[in-house]
């Protein structure tokens, strides 16, 4: 059974810092991995999608890497801003249709 864990569970940093959020999964036979952002009481916004054959994806200040063999992904946020405050979720898709979500990292960026 696939299990997805995210570390740290919560993070509070001053504005401007570069951040690394970690995601690990137990079954390396994944189809793709996705990072999402969730604001309090809201739905999910997809940030980056990495196919199993890819090593990384970039979008603006965000960079996600994938090391499938070791079951790890990282989300790098450059020059963090207060508007980045949210919960970040990673999710993996195996050979089924199902997305298995991680436990999330609650990020707070203060001015």
Partner 1 sequence: GAVVSQHPSWVICKSGTSVKIECRSLDFQATTMFWYRQFPKQSLMLMATSNEGSKATYEQGVEKDKFLINHASLTLSTLTVTSAHPEDSSFYICSARREGGWRETQYFGPGTRLLVL
| Contacts to partner 1 by CB under 8 A | 32, 34, 36, 41-46, 49, 51, 89, 97-104
User: In terms of CB distance, is 7 or 78 closer to partner 1?
Assistant: 7
- Closest to partner 1 by CB, 17 or 98: 98
Shortest CB 103 distance to partner 1, Å: 5
Task: Find all residues with CB under 8 Å of 98, minimum gap 6, and list them.
Answer: none
Nearer to partner 1 among residue 1 and residue 111 (C-beta): 1
* Contact of 4 with 101, CB cutoff 8 Å: yes
Nearest-approach distance from CB 93 to partner 1, in angstroms: 9
Peptide bond into 100 cis (omega under 30): no
Q: Are 67 and 94 in contact (CB under 8 A)?
A: no
């Amino acid at each position: 059974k696939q299990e997805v864990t995210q570390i740290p569970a919560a993070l509070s940093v001053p504005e401007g810092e570069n951040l690394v959020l970690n995601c690990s999964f137990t079954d390396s036979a994944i189809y793709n991995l996705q990072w999402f952002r969730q604001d309090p009481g809201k739905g999910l916004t997809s940030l980056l999608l990495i196919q199993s054959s890819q090593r990384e994806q970039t979008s603006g200040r965000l960079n996600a890497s994938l090391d499938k063999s070791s079951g790890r992904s990282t989300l790098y946020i450059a020059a963090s801003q207060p508007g980045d405050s949210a919960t970040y979720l990673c999710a993996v898709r195996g050979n089924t249709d199902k997305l298995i979500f991680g436990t999330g990292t609650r990020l707070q960026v203060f001015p």
